[in-house]
Amino acid sequence: MDELIQIVKEFLKVDIDENSKLGDFEKWDSLGHLNLFMKLENEYNTKFEIDEIMNAKSIKNIYKLLEGKNV
């Protein structure tokens, strides 16, 4: 979880925590969300389905999603 938070912080350059979600920050808008998933795909060498990207709208959900992918 800390690692994920760190990645998001560095990438979006916003001060998120584990309760943050899409829309909380100007840089984490729908566009930032997509760029973030691009980044996560690279970082964890994995692929996300469209539904996964659209539904994982908070740090907690993204964490769950990554856990499910075993990365």
Partner 1 sequence: MKFYTLTNINLDSLKLFLDYEFINSCSYGSVLDDLMDKESIIYKNKFDVIFCHLDFEEFVSNDINIDVFINLLDEFIKNFKGIFILSNFNKQYYSIDTYQNNLLQKEIEYNQKLFNFSKYYQNIVFFDFKSLVNRNFYTSKYWYLGRIKYTNECFETMAKEIQNIIKAFKGNIKKVLVLDLDNTLWGGVIGEEEIALSNDGVGKIYLDFQKNIKKLKEYGVLLAINSKNNYEDGISGLNHNISVLKEEDFIIKKINWNNKADNLIEIANELNVGIDSLVFIDDNKIERETIKELLPQGNVPEFPSDIFLLNEWFIKNVVYQYFPKVILTKEDSKKHLQYKAKFKREKLQKAMSYEEFLNSLNIKINILKDNKNFITRYAQLTQKTNQFNLTTKRYDINDIENFIENDNYMVLGVEYEDKFLQEGIVGLAIIKIDKEVEIDTFLLSCRILKRGVEDKLLEYIENITKKSNKNIVGYYFETKKNIQTKDFYLKHNYQQIDKNKFIKKV
Residues that bind partner 1 (CB under 8 A): 11-13, 26-27, 30-32, 34-35, 38-39, 42, 50, 53
Helix (H, G, I), strand (E, B) or coil at 3: helix
Q: For residues 32 and 59, which CB has a smaller minimum distance to partner 1 in the complex?
A: 32
Report the nearest approach of partner 1 to the CB of residue 33 (Å): 8
Report the nearest approach of partner 1 to the CB of residue 29 (Å): 9
Q: H-helix or E-strand containing 7?
A: helix 2-12
Going from the C-alpha of 70 to that of each of 44, 63, 66, the distances in angstroms are: 10, 11, 6
